[in-house]
Chains A and B, each alone.
Chain A
């Protein structure tokens, strides 16, 4: 059974799985309807696994922002694999490709996408550059926790951007959880201090901390973030239990630097890939995973409260691949 068939079978598993699959499907556009035929078209176009085929594949991945280095590595491995298995037919090569992509993503580690939830209070810190969707993701995540029956508290740590506190406040109202906040312009570390005190006394299960967006090359702002991280750890040893980096799927190669710098400053434990419902694929997460070993934990697939889904590498790779092919096809059609 080919890998893609295996993927397909995954989608037609349990009902719950089907729902998530649908989310991915909706999020990643209506690619699946004609996915098989698209593959067939490519197969038909390239009957042989030759350089042209590889070149087209290479471009497909580059256009998904996977990044040059990772693509080159992947292509080398694929060429090797194809030779080793003596694959001549393009239909066989697909499964090799998908397997390889998932393999690159998992990097041999069977690390779980699960959050590191504690018995008592779990503190989750959100970090990232400006405008990637930290606050929105926090709203969605709070909703998720609440659905699971946990008591949630939010900390409005973005005291800098105009309207940021109000934005988190509004999410708190929508989801029905309390928000710990101070006046705009106050020290974010002080907000965290307050929030942890308050979470402890209320015996909350989860505290999710928002921070102001900052570009990773602003030394002072990164220092401030380190301080926030430090204060949280001081008030609750072992915290934050998760540091999630929000990453915009439309971001290109700079995402790698973002991940690296934020990891150095705050020991990032996972990534939330936001805005995956657009046409961007966020392929850079492959490179990030490959180089920095930071796993993606969630994906944002829309603006609604329940549009946050746990990351599934197989489904993701499937979408990456499927839509890439479709775009390629469309472009060819328009070229005609």
Chain B
């Protein structure tokens, strides 16, 4: 199915313009038409799209482009700057109260992911901000919502305040804030029931909770897959409650996430976090400039570098480099390397962050099968220490044994051995290059192993 992403579309058009020496007004018009199509397909609200296109066109058609030496670059920059600006300029954090406890309300539609996000947020605040959060189960309407939060609390070893489903949410919130003061929980996170923004009665309930003690944060939880309606929803919640920020959930899906742009531009409130998975530590700060880069196909390099830095041990990397050079790289080292790659997170996510990855045809759908990684590991684990250091001794007999031991086939073993040899050759070439004074080499091509 033709479902081109924002980056593909923009890249295509920008590419055409990049190649030209001069851009005519017609070019800008054509490009902006593409931008408009792409943004609508990415679920950015029509009105937001219109104002965006108008702004960019005005800037692009103006002198700064015409007189510029590289008009294409200029346009790329304008589009990217505007996108970044639309998404909220700089990154923003949770506001804590000067006097404890800080009260955070989670609000949103049904199924946006409030309860899970409440748990994730509590964990993040404890880990990164050294807070002592109290989770409050104020969703008395959805069956088992209280149990859900309690289970999450148990998983995180965090206290959950609940009163069953017979006490009003306002009363639950009031008692929870009282308890937090007594027991010195410095942060109270209230998980409210999902509700429609047009449900006046339930919106009133939120206002009543809000009236108890002015919350420091009212966070609107929005599903990243939301379509045009994101504007109506966020506007209504903002008008009724004065939200202070947004958490965008399920961004680990393959949605374009245009809702982020819509919500931001109608509420003018920052997206503070994004949900990147079902695990409870999968809550990440929102980086507007990175998102803009990603949309434009420039890759989310910063995130990737950051990920790599936290996971790759410097000393080990040096050691590895040495091994590359001296050709003493063994299967043991390979295993270790695999482990490090795994720590960086799901491979397909890492791939998506690479610049230009959006352009490589088919890569978007290339699913890196993590179980393949397990198979490779199993094969290596089935080798004797001697085989691991001297793979050349692995003859047909040994291959059969390894295949049997690892539950794979001889073909799998053969393939791995061949790829390992290729990789070693490549490393040799690379280290030769390094010695000749060429700049840094590349990491060996790991992905060949998981096809």
Contact = CB atoms under 8 A, between A and B. Distances in A.
Given A62-B46, A170-B143, A215-B250, A284 B151 contact: no
A277 B229 CA distance: 13
Nearest to A169: B144
A166 interface: yes
A219 to B, nearest CB: 5
Nearest to B194: A131
Interface in A120-150: 129-133, 136, 139
A164 to B, nearest CB: 8
A167 B109 contact: no
Most chain B beta-carbon contacts within 10 A, residue among A132, A163, A164, A250: A250
Given A215-B250, A278-B229, A162 B155 contact: yes
B152 interface: yes
B121 interface: no
Contact of B144 (A132, A170, A215, A291): A170
Given A131-B111, A131-B112, A252-B258, A167 B227 contact: no
A255 B226 CA distance: 10
Contact of B254 (A136, A167, A257, A277): A257
Contact of B256 (A62, A254, A277, A279): A254
A65 B198 CA distance: 19
A139 B142 CA distance: 12
A280 B227 contact: yes
A129 B250 contact: yes
Given A131-B223, A132-B111, A279-B197, A63 B228 contact: yes
Interface in B249-279: 250, 252-256, 258-259, 278
Most chain A beta-carbon contacts within 10 A, residue among B113, B144, B197, B252: B144
Interface residues of B, number: 56
Query: Main secondary structure on chain B at its contact with chain A?
Result: loop
A254 to B, nearest CB: 4
A278 B278 contact: no
A251 B227 contact: yes
Interface stretch (B37-45, B317-325, B407-415): B37-45
A252 B46 contact: no
Contacts of A63: 45-46, 228
Interface string A261-291: 0000000000000010111110010000001
Nearest to A278: B196
Given A163-B148, A166-B143, A65 B113 contact: no
A129 B112 CA distance: 11
A46 to B, nearest CB: 19
A68 interface: yes
Contacts of B371: 220
Contact of B225 (A160, A252, A275, A291): A252
Contacts of A255: 225, 227
Nearest to B112: A131
A248 interface: yes
A161 interface: yes
B401 to A, nearest CB: 29
B233 interface: yes
Given A162-B148, A163-B151, A250-B223, A68 B253 contact: no
Nearest to A219: B367
A217 interface: yes
Nearest to A170: B143
Given A217-B254, A250-B223, A254-B255, A131 B144 contact: no
B232 interface: yes
A66 to B, nearest CB: 9
A18 interface: no
B315 interface: no
Interface in A286-308: 291, 303
B432 interface: no
Given A248-B223, A253-B43, A275 B143 contact: no
B110 interface: yes
B369 interface: yes
Contacts of B155: 162
Interface string B90-114: 0000000000000000000111110
Given A59-B46, A257-B254, A278-B198, A252 B259 contact: yes
A129 B41 CA distance: 20
B227 A252 contact: yes
A68 B113 contact: no
Contacts of A277: 196
A306 to B, nearest CB: 16
Contacts of A68: 37, 40-41
Nearest to A331: B47
A257 B149 CA distance: 31
Interface in A178-235: 184, 215-217, 219-220
Contact of A250 (B37, B226, B278): B226
Interface of A: 29, 59, 62-65, 67-69, 129-133, 136, 139, 160-167, 169-171, 174, 184, 215-217, 219-220, 248, 250-257, 260, 275, 277-281, 284, 291, 303
19 contacts: A62-B46, A63-B46, A65-B228, A67-B41, A130-B113, A162-B147, A167-B147, A215-B252, A220-B370, A220-B371, A250-B230, A250-B233, A252-B226, A252-B255, A254-B255, A256-B1, A279-B232, A280-B232, A291-B1
Interface of B: 1-3, 37, 40-43, 45-46, 109-113, 115-116, 141-152, 155, 196-198, 223, 225-230, 232-233, 250, 252-256, 258-259, 278, 348, 367, 369-371
The 3 closest A-B CB pairs, nearest first, are A252-B227, A163-B148, A131-B111
Given A68-B40, A131-B112, A252-B43, 15 more contacts: A29-B198, A62-B228, A65-B43, A65-B229, A136-B142, A162-B155, A165-B144, A166-B144, A217-B254, A257-B3, A275-B109, A275-B110, A278-B109, A278-B233, A280-B232
